[in-house]
Amino acid sequence: MSKTNRTAMVYEQLKARIESGYYSPAESLPEVELANEYDVSRNTIKKALLMLENDAYVTVELNKGAKVRSYSKKEVMDYLQLRVELEGFIVRLAVPCFTDADIAQLETLFSQMGQRREANDLLGYSALNQQFHSIIYSVCPNKTATDLLIRLKSQMRKYNGKTILVPNRDEKSYAEHKEILDAIQARDIVAAEASVRKHIESVRKTFDDYFALLF
């Protein structure tokens, strides 16, 4: 494997660990330990960490090394404020482009979300929730907007799935997704945008109310 491929491999695996929550926010990422774990040179680790810093997954300080980037409550709230605008914009453009097959996919996912909720599998519900939104992004014709949102969500992925663990949040989330689905089925642009904005604002309020508990 070439040096470039080894760097890319380390980058992807570290990114996946950060996104999954394997590493905690502000956790140190020692170059020597990572080099031994991945059986690569320290220089390869250094390059991968710089790539992660460029993509806002880690912070690298001189003489202190790399740490998983952590976000303050204000940063998370600012991110969600931006997400309200982006999600509303994306669904507004997406609704006219939905085919019957696209809507059928949303209906299937929503049904599966209900099953996961009834089984009290909230993490499974959260994963399906992400897929539900991904269908909307895939239909939207403005790929610049969707790429930006997906990148932001990837950076915040370790935070995104936690709100579902708040008591009664699953009930609210399920009802909010029902409103989104109903609006898309009706191909009602105004209602779809309003329901998506309402949903993300609800997520934002949950973070505001429970941030100390979640983190």
Q: Using one digit for the tens of pLDDT, what is the confidence trace for 85-132? A: 999 999 999 999 999 999 999 999 999 999 999 999 998 999 999 999
Residue identified by tokens 């006219």 is 96
Mean per-residue pLDDT, 128-149: 96
CA 115 to CA 66: how far, in whole Å? 41
Share of the chain above pLDDT 70, in %: 95
Q: What is the pLDDT of residue 20?
A: 76
Q: What is the pLDDT of residue 182?
A: 98
Indicate whether 188 pLDDT > 80.
yes
Q: What is the pLDDT of residue 3?
A: 62
A 10 A CB-CB count for 111 gives: 11
**Is pLDDT larger for residue 148 or for residue 70?**
148
Q: What is the pTM of this model?
A: 0.79
CA 137 to CA 129: how far, in whole Å? 13
Q: What is the pLDDT of residue 81?
A: 95
CA distances from 85 to 105, 128, 177, 201 (A): 24, 22, 17, 10
Are 76 and 156 in contact by the 8 Å Cβ rule? The answer is yes
CA 17 to CA 52: how far, in whole Å? 12
CA 156 to CA 4: how far, in whole Å? 27
Q: What is the pLDDT of residue 164?
A: 81
Q: What is the pLDDT of residue 64?
A: 84
The DSSP symbol for 97 reads G
Indicate whether 178 pLDDT > 80.
yes
Are 48 and 10 in contact by the 8 Å Cβ rule? The answer is yes
Indicate whether 153 pLDDT > 80.
yes
Q: In what order do the strands lie in the sheet with 65-68?
A: 28-29, 65-68, 58-61
Give the model's confidence band at 157: pLDDT under 50 very low, under 70 low, under 90 confident, else very high: confident
Alpha helices in the chain (DSSP H): 3-20, 31-38, 42-54, 73-94, 100-118, 122-139, 143-155, 157-160, 169-185, 189-214
Residue pLDDT, tens place only, 4-22 = 789 999 999 998 888 777 8
**Is pLDDT larger for residue 25 or for residue 77?**
77
CA 185 to CA 182: how far, in whole Å? 5
Mean per-residue pLDDT, 162-183: 92
Mean per-residue pLDDT, 46-74: 89
Output the average pLDDT for the chain: 91
- Nearest CA to 184 out of 148, 142, 132 is that of 132
Q: What is the pLDDT of residue 1?
A: 55
